[in-house]
Structure formats: structure tokens, C-alpha cells
Structure 1
Amino acid sequence: MEDKLYEFSEDEKACVIYQPKLPRYWFNYLWSEKGYCAQISQNGHGRSYYLNEKADMCMLNNNDARYVYIRDDESMQSWNIGAAPLNEEVENFKCTHHLGYTELSSQVDQITSFWCLYVPKDAYHEVWRIRIKNESQRTRKLSVFEATSFELEGFSYPRYYENYRCMETHFDRDLNGIYCSSDHPFAPHKRYNAFLASSEPVFAFDGDLSKFCGGVGTITKLDASAYALFQRPDIVVKGLDCSNSEAALFVLGAVLQHKIVLAPGESKEIYMVMGVSESVEEAISVGRQYKEKKAVEDSLQKAIAYNVDKYSSLILETPDAKVNHIMKEWIKKQVDCCIVGKKGVRDNLQIAVGLLNYRQEKAKEEILECLRHQFQNGHAVLTWYPYDDTRYSDQPFWIIWAVCELLKETGDLSLLEQKISWQDGGQATVMEHLRAAVSCLIRDKGKHGLVKIYFADWNDALNITTDPEAESVMLSEQFCMALLEMEALMHYIGNEEYAVFLRQEYEKLAQAINTYAWDGKWYMRALSQVENIGSKDSDGSKIYLNAQTWAVLAEIVPPERMADVVASVDGMEGDFGFPLNMPAYEKYSPNVGRMSGMLPGLFENGGVYCHATSFKIFMDCKLGRANKAIRTLKKIMPDSEQNPSSNSGAEPYVFTNCYATHPGYYGKSYWSWTTGTSAWALRSIYEGIMGLQRTYEGLRIAPCFPSDWNEATVVRHFRDADYRICIHNPMHLEQGVAHILMDGQEITGNILPDMQDNKVHDVQVTLCGK
């Protein structure tokens, strides 16, 4: 395995990592339907938190502290299974990030250790299965230390009511572990208590991390007490035993020490539970569930089955191994994870539309939840955790778009009459929520007839502080798409009067965009009385990607301009995708705002924002440019040919939000997992390239297929039926008329019969010449 960073398992459900020291942490996320989530790096550390249905956060551990230390009590050699934070060398390191668990393993001085972590489906906790085996020919005496910090923060409270003032730890004999209680008067729920419990007798413990780690640190808390330094904890490296400390106020956590003696060839298992609870009695009850090996193994297998089964309704097989690695399994998990980590109207609606491809009920739940955060005047909050109602302009668009997609997916028009609360009181039908969103965007038009940008639109960092009347070209284009979507819905339900009104608004807005936002070769990004943004005459950036892609998606580009728009987009291509704007701003401009204050090539200032590049892939598919679409998708996929993970640092199994184009950080990625890129990338392969598109009448098959793919297969659940769809491309076309057979019978057109019969149907699609 020399120099080999990783490989995927044959079924793509796991990524196996062979090096503990990577360019950055490669995480897995494991979570329950109750809202408990554990983030786990290749070294085993990471944050654990609980987020309830009202988005009240409880962060268990500060500094992401979750560690297992092993010490030979005779030689006093000490190490970690995951090689960190002691940073002592280990042999045969392996980290397996699976859809349903993470397991670390390594060997030091003929002691082989395994650490498996998982989160049960309906749990408020995580489970650790630790196995230590003596591979030597002599008896070994070892100490095993399981350690975590306790934070219990994440909610708002008045000044001077800091949560640490209400916390204390104690060792509970019935729990066989440490319980950290919090009695905060403003806690929004009762689960601001944490625990770490063991299945085996505890030799010693520490609830005061300063006793375990030592009292000297480089970071201090408010009273100047040192943060615990887990990299070289005194107890471990000095050959000491835990001091049985309990504590209140500062530097709280849990360390449990086990003494084990292993004969040659013998192994020992220890089961740990870490989580939140409403009471110590609940924690004791939970801990007792994981005392025996069979109970832990059964629980683990159920967690694995659940995490595999919930993604099984959408299956992909393509001729491209790189695409399969991430698009068969991990992209579905990443989109699902975003719902756990994000609580914002714009973000969650985009994620939910991705989820409609395979977790329809969860997507429906999320879309309706977003409507509850819409105000009666049609706009909505940016996020409800943390709460932020800053006036971003684009929330109404996402509401219209997502609800229309939900209706097309389910075919259930009764949803339009369902009553949903407003953020500012009262309730209304879903249809009334939609009409409020339309009215809001019409009302928000500026002097050129385009929609005002207010604080920002989709691009949080484009803040035109010099002109409160500035208009967003991108949002105006998106509103054109929304008007088309609403018009189609109104025709479908028979509301012709409103449909005519929507068409008239679309025509007016499209004309205004083409009149005032066209810059000769491309569309400007925003109109401002000080300076138009994204124009050939602008200071700094001359062109923005989103204004071009959404013009195509919204069908507003006149035929005579299309070649220029497409050429302008193609001219933006870089080594690993398409930058958000070109060239990057060299200096801050109040006419542009926050993005221009960043270093050139970082984040929104000329970085390759993968979310926006995903919009471009949909543009390619709409134009029948399949080869361009797959080329672009593979550029923003992690571990791409021109930007391997060894350079970018990106986990090879999930999408990242951005790649830098700044020379000092060239190709590096920022964060992954919780990025809207995931939903759009998923949709780009399933809805764009494979062409499985929901409509009110049924599932449309309209592939935009790479010409070098002979065939590909996808299984899609749609309205209580499963369709196994194999696309054949004998003529090596990028797009063509699809000849469709379903269950051996020829289909007229390209919309599959809406079976709703709980059966599996075989669909053979052949691309033919036009």
C-alpha cells in the first residue's frame, strides 16, 4: 500500500484510507433520525452534536475532542489507534469510512487495535466498539484511555449566562461512566446533558480535563484556565493513572481508563457510549443496552442496513469508474447530510429537490418546513438556525421552484390546499404561499424592471452597499424560470386566468433583462446606479458565470445571442472548473461588497465555486452538450485528474464547496459535506445526463449522454413504482430521439406510464438520430 492514499470498496459503499496524515481531515458523518450527529475524521476525532426538530443545537465536545489512547504499562510506550493526536507512528493504518460506520485500525509493537464508531437509527448517542489484540508471544499489560471534552453549547442566552457556569461532571457507578449535567435556565430543551459510559469495569477516571491533560496550554478560557491539550496528555505520556477527578465550571470532559492484561493471541473488546440525555437515569438505561457483544453487533448491523437501505431506491451504473465512485452512493449520503447540517430556506430547498430523487417523504417534509419560515409578504428568512432574517432577495424564487418540483414528483395536487404557517403568524394554503412569493418578486422590481438585490441574492458575498435600488440579473433570470414553472402548474390545474398573467410577467421581465442587462457578448450580473456589475466596462470583474447559465436555464436568450453566451461561458474554463467571476477583484470595492474584499481567487472572488459550476452543467444539458457536461462534472469532482486530493485536500468521496485559483492556495479546497454543490451535482447526473426528469404527467426520459458511453443504467423510484432504466447509445450521440420500450412494449413519446403499482418495470432506452 506504499503511497496509496485510498481506494473504494467494490460496492462503492466504503472508502478505505491508508494514510493517517492527509492534506486535511477527511470526515465521515453519521447521524440518527432523532438529530444526533457524529463527525469522524480519519484519525477518529470530530464534533458530536444534537440538533432537535426546532433546530436547537447542543454541541457535545469542544475542539472536536474524541480520542482513544493506548499505553503499554511496562514499556510506557503510548499511541493512538488513529495515529493522532499523539502523532506517534503506527503500522498497517486503515480507516474505513462506510455509509453506516467508520472503523480505524492500526498496529504498534504487535498490538493490533480496532475502533469502530456508529450511530444507531433512533438514537441520541454514538457507540464505540474497541478491540485490542495481542499479536506478540508474551503477556501484555495495557491501559486504554477513552477521552472526550464536554461543551454543551449552541443556544442563545443573555449576557453573563454562559453555559459553563451551570455544568459539572461526576462519575456514576450505575452508569459506569461520567455524566456531565447542565441546569441552564434558558436551555431550549432538556438534552443539555452529556455522558460517556463503558461496558467494562473502569479502573480510574477524570471529569476534570486539566487533571488528565495537564494545566498548561496555549489557549485559555474566560477565567484564564488552559484548554485541555490532548496532544500530549500528562496522564498518558508520564505513565500515570487517572486521578478520579470530578469538576464544575471549566475544562470539563470525560476520560475513562481501563486496565487490560492480554495473553499471547488474546483480544479484548470494550464498548463505549457517548451521547446526550434528559437525565442520568436515561443515560444509565442507554448504557445498559451496549454491555454485550451480541447487542452491539446487532445494533451495528441495523445501523448499516438502515444507512444502505435509505439510499437503495436510486441506483446508478455507468462506464466511468470515477463517476461511479461518488455518484452511486456517496453523493446521496452527502445530500442527505446537508439536511442535518443546514437550516436555511435557500439551502434546504435546493437540497430537498435533490432528495426528491430518492427520499421523497423526507424531501416533502423539508420543503413544507421551509414554507413555515416564509413571511406573509412573500419573502423568507435566510436561516432559522441560527436565526437570520436579513433581507436576501432570492428566497421567494426557491420556494416557487421547489414546491413545483415537489408537485411534479408526487403528483399530489391536494398539497396545494394544505395549510402551512407563516413565519410572522397565521397560516395559509401552499397555493397562497406560492402566490405570495410571486407577488413579492414582482413588487421588488426596480427602475429597470428587474428584481432588486437587497443585501444579496444567491451570492451571499455580492453586497452592493452603494445602491439600495440595485437590481440582480441572476435573480431576475431565476424569476423568469419560476414564472414558467408556475404557468405550467396553472395550466395543469386549470387556472388559465392566472396562467395568462404569469406569461405576461415572464415576457415583460425577459424583455427587461435583454434590454438592460445585455453587455454585447454576455449578460451583466447586477445593475447599479454607481456601476453595473459584471460588465466589460466594470472595474475589476468583467463577467460572472451565473448570469450566463441562468439566462439559458430561464429560456430568455434570443437565438442570435446564444452563441455569444455559450462562448463567453466556455472562455471562463479553468483547470478545475469555472470561476464565479473573471478576473478576480484586486481590491475592495463598496460597489461589490464582501467578495471584493477577499484575496483574488479565494471563495466568491474568482474562486471555482462548485455550486455555480453545477448550474453550468445544467446549462450544458439543456443545450445538448453532454460531453461538456460530463467534462465539467468531472472537473469539480474531488480527486480530479488536474487537481488530485493530494493537492486539493478534498475527500475523494464527497463534493467540496470551492477550489481556490489564488497562486498561494491554488487548487486547494475549503469545506465539503454541507454544500449545495451536492444536490446540484446529484441532479446533474440523474436529471441532466441520465435525463430522468419529473413532470406532472409522469417521469420523462430525456438523456444528454456522453458520446463515448455505450450504455448506462439507473433505477428510479417514482410514484409507488420502480423503473429499471437502461440507456443504450449505439450511435454515440450526445442527444437524440429516445426509442423507449417498457416491459417489452413500445412507448409513444418520452414520458413513462405512471404505473403506481408497487412493481418493478424494465425500461430500455435507445438514443437514435434526430
Structure 2
Amino acid sequence: MKPVSYTVHERSIGLLKKFSSRYGYFNDAGDFVISDVRTPMPWTQVLSNGDFGSIVSQAGSGYSFFKDAQQSLITRWVQDLVTDSYGKYYYIRNRLTGDISSFTFMPTKSDAEYSCVYAPGTATFMSKHEDFDTTLCLFVPFEYDCEIALLTVTNTTKAPLALSIFTYQELNMGTSLDVHREFHKLFFDSRFSEQHGAIITKKHLWTGGPNHWNDSYPWLVFHAATKEPSGHDTDKRSFLGMYGDVGLPSALKKGDSANRVGRSVDAINSLQIDINIPPSESCKLAVFTGVSENNERTMATIKGIQQEDMDDLLKRTQNRWRSLLGRFKASVPSEDADMEALLNSWLPYQAIAGRLFARTAYYQMGGAFGYRDQLQDSLVTLWLDPDITKKQILKHAEHQRNDGTVHHWWFPLNRGVPEERWSDDLLWLPFALCEYVGFTGDTSILEISVPFADKGQATIKDHCLRSIKSVLEMLSPRGIPLILDGDWNDGLNALGKKRAGESFWMSEFLFHIMQCVLRTFPLSDDNRAFLEENSRGIRKAFNDYAWNGEWFERATDDQGRVLGGRRDGRVFLNTQNWAVISEISDLKRTAKAFSIMKEKLITDYGPLLFSPPLDKPDSEIGYLSRYAPGSRENGGVYTHAAVWTIIAAAKMKDA
């Protein structure tokens, strides 16, 4: 294997100056270089092939998962973003001096010079020590359900080096988080394969399964290398030592692994790999962690990975991402040229790898499919591979009930779904379908028959019409859609507890959807007349009741009190930007609302969801009132709504 190399200590002189800081910058290739890994908060990269995934921070911490980070977390992780001290670590020990350090800043926090580079599909960490340099390149290949770490150590002295590499990762193998650690460790069963130089672990309990407390974790986890290990350990206590420290483990101090395997271990993966490096030369190897269904397939997978040309496997992964992302190229005016790398690479990569594939992150661990979320996210692939969007639409249609209502979210590995009903979820199916058909011209998707989640099946077009009809069946006496258990802003979950609260934003969204369907779908005369008549009704009711003379109000609660009106003096972003997007009102009102939105909500950090924020909990509004003022849904900056504001500004020709 060739070492992965980057120039990381020269600032870019290219176009991406706007996004540079004392901690990092985009280089001329569009990759993000973190030159100072002591960032204000963890800066993370998402690596995923759609099933296996890994989240890693610039300090080298993070976690791995398979299919679902909530139900199938492979390595243990604690969301402590102050210490950022849980991860999959690679130590290095000088066998002559006993000096200990790590390939990444965590966990040893040694005096080495650390940096890292994020590129689509990879996270590469570099370090410069007194006697050697290291490179660690992490990636998740598409051919295997595993994470691969390519390790390179270069001897920078004129004398031979005798070093030992130790790996360390705590195992979880189940739902996140196994807080009853002493209980869960009773179910781990680890062994070491001398033939393959691999640790294989089974866990005889999985609380995410259909039988809850009577299932085994469905997969074996393997941990192996391309160089024969000289030792191994699967027990945290023997590796760290009692009252030990992940920054200075007992095994590293002693220089030897305990070779402990079996039942009732506090499960970890740890390999010891001894290397000897002549002066000015490099040693390269790969370490990998993955999952497989059974022992036979596991052994075959380990052997297959060990026989791979790792440089070629890395290149194939990089090329797969480059090929997908390279199908769309945006050119922007020179004064905004910084945006090109984001539009042409990072934004679609993050939407696909982070939102569609992984559905999890560092700041909010996830795993579920959100009905609205992944339909929105999939639209980015219209420009890259419309078939991805199509498959997402078909998948979501299967999570719609016969009456048109849908699952707000679902986990891929179990059947649990919430009972609450959000008012907007079901409309994202026709929204995404209209976008897909409008972009591709592929009307054949409308006639594909898809089963409902409960009973029966129907064409995709009928699925979408049922979504619209279901919303129209839940209008207030004034003709405004009921907010139910919330709309796009989930935090407004108390306005409609008694099924009387209204959402004016839902009027805009519903009107927009019906207009899109009328423009896009071939419809029967009856369906066309139905949509036209209801569009007129929704438009009239909205203009009669949502406009207060200055801006469009947001919602009402079960008692009819207005949120986002003159009484509370709050201006909400979404009813103003969606008035523009949906064209539900006349230009005079829309222009005035847009002007108020700019005056009250646009900041240097982006558009606020509303202002002023709520300053105390209000059980009649919902949980958003419980957030600190100005954070998240309580008047913070939210990406989805910010993008809608950009769309509205474009329609208003307001740059």
C-alpha cells in the first residue's frame, strides 16, 4: 500500500477563503483540512455505504453501526462532546523506550503535531512524532460491511524502530446505549481465530429484536488486520487495568496484550501488531472491523478483505463517490465562488452519506427513517441519480396506511412506530413525487402499485391522492388544516392536543401540493375538479384568517389563541417564506410579509425560525418552548427553513 499523503500545513490560496479559520480550511481540491484539531466543538465526518457506517471526529473519536445506529450500534459511544473520549483508537508504542502515543489526538493527547483531512468517503489523520510520522485513513467500502483503517508509519530517524500498534474499541452490539453495562457484558462471547488473526464476537442478547429480551444480536462482529497480530484482548478490564485510563492503558504500559477471550468479558476489540521499520522507510497495514451473518460467511469475508489490494479498494471507494457527486456541476458568480465546492461536493455528500445512508450524527444520534426527512433529503439525488429518489419514494409509500396517514418515522430493524399523527408528514409523499416527475418526466412511476402498511395496495398516484384527501378530512370549521400532534415544526406538539388547533403553514403547504399535483399528474375529471375546488377553499380560508395586516400568522391552539400574531408579536419564518413559495396570497401581502421577515428574522448567522423566542415553558404550545431561547426550534436557525427562505428570495428576485 502507498501512504496516503496530503499537504496540510499550507493554507489554500484558492477560491475557498470564506470558509477558512484558525482551525481549518478547504484546500484547492475541495477537501477540508483541519490543521488544529483542538476545535471549539467536535467537527465530524460521516462514512457510510448505506448499511455500514462510521462517524468520526477530528480528534479520532466516534462510533460504528450497522443499518441503524439506534438499534444496531456496533461500538460503544457516549455523547460527551466536552471530553470526546469514546472512539475506536489506534495506539503506537516504542518497544525500546516505552513511549506511548496515538495515531489521532485522542486518546493519548500526546505532544505530536496532529491534523486531519475530510474528503468525500474518507477521513485521513496525520501526526508527526519525534521519531516517526503516521497516517490513518478511514473509509467504508461499498463491497464489504466494514470500516477499514489504513495505517502508515514512517521512520524519520537514521536508526531502526521497533514499534507496537494496539487497537482499541469498546463493543456495544445492540441498542444504544447499553447503560446497564454489568448486565450486558454477561451476553458477550468472544474468540480469536489463529488462522485469520481475527477477533470474532457474538452477543447473545439484542433488545432491538422482535422478542425483545429473547433474541441474539443478528450479526457476528469481526476485527482483523492484514498483518499477523502478536497479541489480542477482548476484555476492557485487562486492557485498561482496573481504574485505568484510556489515555494510558495497562496493556500499553506493559507492552503486551493479555490474550483474553471468552464469556462475560467487558467486551472490546484489541489487536497488538508488532512492526520493525528500517531507517527512512515506512510500514503499511490495514485494520478492519465489520459484521457478517454467520461463522462461515464471517471467515470468508475476513479472508476476502485480507486478500484485497487496499490501495485499490480505497481508490474504488473514492471513485464511487466522485462518480456520483461529479454528475452535477454548478457554476456561480466569482464573488460567491466559495460556494462551488459546497454545491458540487459537500452538500450532496452530506445529504447522501449523512442523511440517507447513515441517518445519524454526533450531535443527535439517530437511525430511524423520518417520513418527511428522508423524502426531503432524497431530492438532492435528482441531480445525481434520480433512481435513488425513486426508490425512496417507493419505500415511503409502503409506510402509508390505507386511510392516507403515515408512519412519522420507523426503524429498519424493528416494527415500532409512533402513534401520534403529525399533520404534514403525509404530504411529503406527493411533494417528492411531483419533484421527481417534474424533473425526470418519468410518469410511469405513477402507475407502480405499492402495498399499504396495514392493508391493500394502490398505485403511487393513488397513495398521493389519499394523502391529500386525508388532510382535507382534518380541517377546522374555518377551513384551516388541523395541526394535530405538530406540523413541520415538531416542537409545536401541544397546540392541537384536543384536535382543534390550526396550522396556517399547513394551508400554504397543502395549497402548494395540490397545485403541483394539478400541474404534474394526469388526473381524472373528478380528481381534477376535487383538487381545484379544495385549492380555492384552502386559499380563501387562509387569506381570510391568517393575514393580520402585517404578516401571516403561524397557528392557533385548541382555544383559538393565535401563535405568531399581533397578540404575542412573534413573526414566524415559515408562514412568510411559504407564502412566497406557494403563491397562496396576492403579491401585495406576500411582498409585505417578505419585507417583515427580512426585517425581523434575517441575521448574519441565517434566518431565525421566529422572533422573539419563547422565554419560558408553555404546556399549551409544546416542547419547543422548553428549549433555551434562540436554540433549535425555539427561534434558532434551522437549515431546512433557511433553504426555503433562499427559494423565496429567488422568487422575489431579492438577492
Q: Does 1:481 align with 2:507?
A: no
Distance in 2 of aligned mates of 1:280 and 1:21: 42
Task: Give runs of aligned pairs for residues 498-513 of structure 1, distance below 5 A.
Answer: 498-513=527-542
Task: Give runs of aligned pairs for residues 430-509 of structure 1, distance below 5 A.
Answer: 430-465=460-495, 467-490=498-521, 493=522, 495-509=524-538
Cα distance change on mapping 1:259 and 1:161 into 2, 3 Å = closer
For normalisation by structure 1, the TM-score amounts to 0.75
Cα distance change on mapping 1:94 and 1:160 into 2, 3 Å = closer
SS at match of 1:109: coil
Q: State the partner residue of 1:133.
A: 154
Task: Judge which range, 307-316 or 366-375, deviates more.
Answer: 307-316
Q: State the partner residue of 1:26.
A: 43
Distance in 2 of aligned mates of 1:156 and 1:380: 28
Distance in 2 of aligned mates of 1:156 and 1:19: 31
Give the superposition deviation at 1:284.
Answer: 2.5
Give the superposition deviation at 1:77.
Answer: 1.5
Distance in 1 of aligned mates of 2:566 and 2:653: 28
Q: Deviations over 1:344-391 (max 9, x none)?
A: 111011112222121211110011101111111111111012632421
Q: State the partner residue of 2:587.
A: 559
Q: State the partner residue of 1:72.
A: 94
Cα distance change on mapping 1:161 and 1:484 into 2, 3 Å = farther
Q: State the partner residue of 1:408.
A: 438
Distance in 2 of aligned mates of 1:280 and 1:231: 34
Give the superposition deviation at 1:526.
Answer: 0.4
Give the superposition deviation at 1:317.
Answer: 2.7
Give the letter aligned to residue 148 of structure 2. V
Q: Does 1:377 align with 2:393?
A: no
Q: State the partner residue of 1:542.
A: 570
Give the superposition deviation at 1:155.
Answer: 8.7
CA contact 1:463–1:593 (8 Å) conserved in 2: yes
Q: State the partner residue of 1:48.
A: 64
Task: Give runs of aligned pairs for residues 310-709 of structure 1, distance below 5 A.
Answer: 310-318=324-332, 319=334, 320-337=336-353, 338-342=355-359, 343-385=369-411, 387-465=417-495, 467-490=498-521, 493=522, 495-528=524-557, 529-538=559-568, 542-571=570-599, 572-625=601-654, 627=655
Q: Does 1:5 align with 2:35?
A: no
CA contact 2:206–2:217 (8 Å) conserved in 1: no
Q: State the partner residue of 1:263.
A: 278
Cα distance change on mapping 1:383 and 1:164 into 2, 3 Å = farther
Give the letter aligned to residue 623 of structure 2. R
Q: State the partner residue of 2:106.
A: 84
Give the letter aligned to residue 506 of structure 2. L
Aligned residue pairs total 603
Distance in 1 of aligned mates of 2:543 and 2:185: 58
Cα distance change on mapping 1:123 and 1:291 into 2, 3 Å = closer
SS at match of 1:231: coil
Q: Deviations over 1:271-305 (max 9, x none)?
A: 2121111123323322223446x711111111111
Give the letter aligned to residue 86 of structure 1. T
Give the superposition deviation at 1:191.
Answer: 4.3
Cα distance change on mapping 1:155 and 1:588 into 2, 3 Å = closer
CA contact 1:20–1:82 (8 Å) conserved in 2: no
Task: Give runs of aligned pairs for residues 236-315 of structure 1, distance below 5 A.
Answer: 236=252, 238-291=253-306, 295-315=309-329
Distance in 2 of aligned mates of 1:148 and 1:331: 30
Unaligned runs of 5+ in 1: 218-228, 628-770
Distance in 2 of aligned mates of 1:206 and 1:357: 47
Distance in 2 of aligned mates of 1:4 and 1:621: 33
Cα distance change on mapping 1:160 and 1:329 into 2, 3 Å = closer
Q: State the partner residue of 2:366.
A: none
Distance in 2 of aligned mates of 1:548 and 1:360: 30
Distance in 2 of aligned mates of 1:422 and 1:11: 46
Distance in 1 of aligned mates of 2:163 and 2:508: 65
Give the superposition deviation at 1:29.
Answer: 1.6
Unaligned runs of 5+ in 2: 1-8, 11-20, 78-85, 211-215, 360-368
Cα distance change on mapping 1:104 and 1:517 into 2, 3 Å = same
For normalisation by structure 2, the TM-score amounts to 0.87
Distance in 2 of aligned mates of 1:4 and 1:155: 35
Distance in 1 of aligned mates of 2:38 and 2:103: 13
Q: State the partner residue of 2:230.
A: 203
Distance in 2 of aligned mates of 1:106 and 1:376: 57
SS at match of 2:338: helix
Distance in 2 of aligned mates of 1:604 and 1:581: 9
Q: Deviations over 1:102-137 (max 9, x none)?
A: 221111112111111111112111111111111112
Q: Deviations over 1:139-161 (max 9, x none)?
A: 2221110111111113999x999
Cα distance change on mapping 1:408 and 1:391 into 2, 3 Å = same
Distance in 1 of aligned mates of 2:290 and 2:582: 47
Q: Deviations over 1:705-740 (max 9, x none)?
A: xxxxxxxxxxxxxxxxxxxxxxxxxxxxxxxxxxxx
Cα distance change on mapping 1:313 and 1:185 into 2, 3 Å = closer
Q: Deviations over 1:302-347 (max 9, x none)?
A: 1111111112211123222321231121111111121113311110
Cα distance change on mapping 1:193 and 1:164 into 2, 3 Å = farther
Give the superposition deviation at 1:243.
Answer: 0.9
Q: State the partner residue of 2:213.
A: none
CA contact 1:486–1:499 (8 Å) conserved in 2: no
Task: Judge which range, 280-289 or 264-273, deviates more.
Answer: 280-289
CA contact 1:190–1:278 (8 Å) conserved in 2: no
Task: Judge which range, 183-192 or 349-358, deviates more.
Answer: 183-192
Q: Deviations over 1:184-228 (max 9, x none)?
A: 4774797422111012221111100111112227xxxxxxxxxxx
Cα distance change on mapping 1:591 and 1:185 into 2, 3 Å = closer
Give the letter aligned to residue 28 of structure 1. Q
| C-alpha RMSD of the superposition | 2.4
Give the letter aligned to residue 194 of structure 2. R
Give the letter aligned to residue 235 of structure 2. D
Give the letter aligned to residue 99 of structure 2. Q
Q: State the partner residue of 2:173.
A: 152
Give the superposition deviation at 1:597.
Answer: 1.4
SS at match of 1:366: helix
SS at match of 2:405: coil
SS at match of 2:591: helix
Q: Deviations over 1:577-598 (max 9, x none)?
A: 1111110111111221111112
CA contact 2:48–2:358 (8 Å) conserved in 1: no
Q: State the partner residue of 2:141.
A: 120
CA contact 2:46–2:53 (8 Å) conserved in 1: yes
Give the superposition deviation at 1:485.
Answer: 1.0
Cα distance change on mapping 1:356 and 1:509 into 2, 3 Å = same
Give the letter aligned to residue 397 of structure 2. L
